[in-house]
Chains A and B, each alone.
Chain A
Amino acid sequence: MSELPPRLAEIVGEFQEVDRTERLDLLFEYAGDLPALPARFEGQELERVHECQTPLFVQTEVEDGDVVRLYFAAPDEAPTSKGFAGIIYAGLDGCTIDEILATPSDFAQAMGLNEVISPLRMRSVGAILARVKRQLMERAAA
């Protein structure tokens, strides 16, 4: 695996250290820690992550040339998708464009979540990251 941004690497390590039930507890904590979508996005159409079983929307912004800001919207009744978004937010918000583009889309494989979350659900982690990367590449190409 190519190198993960330091904060994301720490999170992956956190999940590796705990047992199966605690992994779900952790995921739920990340769901709770995901900041609410700033009010200025209200009324805007955000990109929906269709690969998630429950509604999840993602928006990227770039500050100071290459610092990426991540924004997510997910209902509280969709804690699993929200937890995935929470991990990506905690691990990648504030990283540079290059760091995010270099993050392997299958980084979550190493977290042991596939033992506790169905394969169908797990695919959405990679899908969220893939959409983040695509938004960044489109911005670079524009």
Chain B
Amino acid sequence: MSLSADSAPKLQAYAHPERLVTTDWLAEHLDDENLVVIESNEDVLLYRTGHIPGAHHVDWHLDLNDDVMRDYVSSEAFAAMCSARGITRDSTVVVYGDNFNWWAAYALWVFSLFGHPDVRLLDGGRAKWAAEGRPMTTDAPTVTPSQYPVVPRDDSTIRAFKEDVLQHIGNGPLVDVRSPGEFSGELLHMPDYPQEGVQRGGHVPTAQSVPWKRAANEDGSFKSADELRGIYEGELGMAPSDDVVTYCRIGERSSHTWFVLTYLLGFEHVRNYDGSWVEWGNAVRVPIEKPA
């Protein structure tokens, strides 16, 4: 059975408070039988330096992506990954990670592609847990492997492909969550990162720029529902019934914004374009907007 939702007051203003837990809630429920905690980081070795007691590691590179095709893992591989961590279809899965939960949100999004019913994010992620002086350990979690069912991956509801984005231009809001320099085409990559790997800079025509980080507080937690509404509904003029596509460079930062729009603001049709700029900026003859 799923665990009860976190009743912290801050969360109740969000559209789907049951998709988020506070560090207080997690600390209280760490020993609950039906809870599986997952850490997923940009730095794939970080988990080994210490993690929340009992938390399992999910490596975005090895566990979520297919090792040959540029795609997510198969239904069979996803089931095996979950089974090895003792996750059942009834488990409450709480995900957290480094870098403001970028990869945690990405992992949560991949779990959602497979329709895992109850997967939540830890508000503030690894940084907030550590900053509060809560326990971390290098002890490997004990696990009784489970039998996670082989379920189909639904790529049509929350995932957008290049062709979908082409169709979407002029038909609905596109949110580019990269840094302003990447949006303008001045940078091909995040600031201070190597500027290689993408042929062209700029953004998808009609896209609006809202860097992902605007949704986060400095401690890594999400801004309040009112603040978020002010940004996405106020400034951008989007409405929860809009068909929205988010993208970034490879789909991880845009998973963060996908989470915000879908679960914190209750937008009903948000798709994450995981091909993102690495695909778009390398594709032949797709339209690009770039200020002169």
Q: Are A and B genuine complex partners?
A: yes
- Say whether A78 contacts B196, CB under 8 Å: no
User: In the complex the two chains form, what is the Cα distance from A53 to B61 in whole Å?
Assistant: 16
- Which listed residue (B46, B49, B194) contacts A51, Cβ 8 A? B194
Q: Residue B69 at the A interface, CB < 8 A?
A: no
Contact with A along B178-213 (1 / 0, CB 8 A): 000000000000001110110000000000000000
- Say whether A83 contacts B45, CB under 8 Å: yes
Q: Residue B239 at the A interface, CB < 8 A?
A: no
- With A24-B45, A53-B43, A79-B45 in contact, do A117 and B197 touch (Cβ < 8 Å)? no
Q: Residue B48 at the A interface, CB < 8 A?
A: yes
Contact with B along A57-86 (1 / 0, CB 8 A): 000000000000000000011111101000
- With A20-B62, A77-B49 in contact, do A119 and B44 touch (Cβ < 8 Å)? no
- Say whether B193 contacts A116, CB under 8 Å: no
- Which of chain A's residues has its CB closest to B42's CB? A53
Q: Residue A108 at the B interface, CB < 8 A?
A: no
Which residues of chain B are within 8 angstroms of A120 by Cβ–Cβ distance?
193-194, 197
Q: Residue B67 at the A interface, CB < 8 A?
A: yes
- Say whether B194 contacts A80, CB under 8 Å: no
Q: Residue A54 at the B interface, CB < 8 A?
A: yes
| Min CB gap A61→B, angstroms | 26
User: In the complex the two chains form, what is the Cα distance from A91 to B156 in whole Å?
Assistant: 48
User: In the complex the two chains form, what is the Cα distance from A53 to B252 in whole Å?
Assistant: 15
> How many A residues have CB within 8 A of the partner chain?
26
User: In the complex the two chains form, what is the Cα distance from A81 to B193 in whole Å?
Assistant: 14
Range for the number of chain B residues in contact with chain A: 10 to 19
Q: Which of B30-50 contact A (CB under 8 A)?
A: 42-46, 48-49
Central interface residue in A20, A80, A120, A124, by most chain B CB within 10 Å: A120
- Which listed residue (A27, A54, A79) contacts B49, Cβ 8 A? A79
- With A115-B67, A116-B61, A118-B61 in contact, do A54 and B43 touch (Cβ < 8 Å)? yes
- Say whether B44 contacts A116, CB under 8 Å: yes
- Which listed residue (B44, B48, B49, B192) contacts A50, Cβ 8 A? B192
Q: Residue A127 at the B interface, CB < 8 A?
A: yes
- Which of chain A's residues has its CB closest to B191's CB? A50
Q: Residue A123 at the B interface, CB < 8 A?
A: yes
Q: Residue A8 at the B interface, CB < 8 A?
A: no
| Min CB gap A66→B, angstroms | 31
Which residues of chain B are within 8 angstroms of A78 by Cβ–Cβ distance?
43
- With A80-B43, A115-B67 in contact, do A28 and B48 touch (Cβ < 8 Å)? yes
Q: Residue A31 at the B interface, CB < 8 A?
A: yes
Q: Which of B61-84 contact A (CB under 8 A)?
A: 61-62, 67
- Say whether A80 contacts B45, CB under 8 Å: yes
- Say whether A117 contacts B44, CB under 8 Å: yes
- Which of chain A's residues has its CB closest to B249's CB? A120
- With A53-B43, A79-B49 in contact, do A116 and B194 touch (Cβ < 8 Å)? no
The 3 closest A-B pairs by CB, nearest first: A79-B45, A80-B43, A80-B45
Measured CB to CB, the residues of B under 8 A from A are 42-46, 48-49, 59, 61-62, 67, 192-194, 196-197
Can you report 29 A-B residue pairs in the complex whose CB atoms are below 8 A from each other?
Answer: A20-B62, A28-B45, A28-B48, A31-B45, A50-B192, A53-B43, A53-B193, A54-B43, A77-B43, A77-B46, A77-B49, A78-B43, A79-B43, A79-B45, A79-B46, A79-B48, A80-B43, A80-B45, A80-B46, A81-B43, A83-B45, A116-B44, A116-B59, A116-B61, A117-B44, A119-B197, A120-B197, A123-B194, A127-B194
Other than the given A51-B194, A53-B193, A80-B46, 16 more pairs (CB < 8 A) read: A21-B62, A24-B45, A28-B48, A31-B45, A50-B192, A77-B43, A77-B46, A78-B43, A79-B45, A80-B44, A115-B67, A117-B44, A117-B61, A118-B61, A119-B197, A123-B196
